Amino acid sequence: MIGETFDYTYHDRVFNYKPSGNQPNIDQIHYIIEKLKKDPYSNRAQAVTWMPWVDEHPEIGPPCLQIIWCKVIENSLEMHTYWRSRDAYAAAPMNMWALTNLQKIIADAVGVEVGQYVDTAESYHVYEENFQRVQSVVNLSKIRRESGKPVWLDTSDPRLKD
């Protein structure tokens, strides 16, 4: 079960995908890069994590990330990710950080700029053990807004400049 032990990693599923049978493993990120170098406007530059021959078993924690889809639009790499299920508090922010870093790696390899990142989740939720933490963030945001302070870090603050 994820959280106690890891049945897989997203990295392994996209860089070292193991097809069923005796087929060789697939580096899907390499595939995306090569596909976009040859055909930047292709709708086929995608990686999948789902392995039905593995993930249908109830004792396995199936991946939440399902698809990474990339396309070059106006010389920028657009990346869409599709999630089966998403922990909004404990996982989503770091997942987004990691995937936008992967987007930059792919864009650099293809020779284009980083474009839009689109993140779609079918089930976006907060687990009960994190309700109090989320409520604290909401309360702090409300207090800051009511006092006229920025809700989040104000990057225009001159004290944050070099």
- Residues classed as catalytic: 64
CA 32/CA 27 separation, integer angstroms: 9
Q: Are strands 46-48 and 65-73 parallel, antiparallel or unpaired?
A: antiparallel
CA 40/CA 69 separation, integer angstroms: 12
In 3-state terms the chain splits into helix, strand, coil percentages (rounded to 5) of 40, 20, 40
Indicate the DSSP class of residue 17: B
* Residues forming a β-bridge with 101: none
CA 41/CA 38 separation, integer angstroms: 9
| Residue 102 one-letter amino acid | L
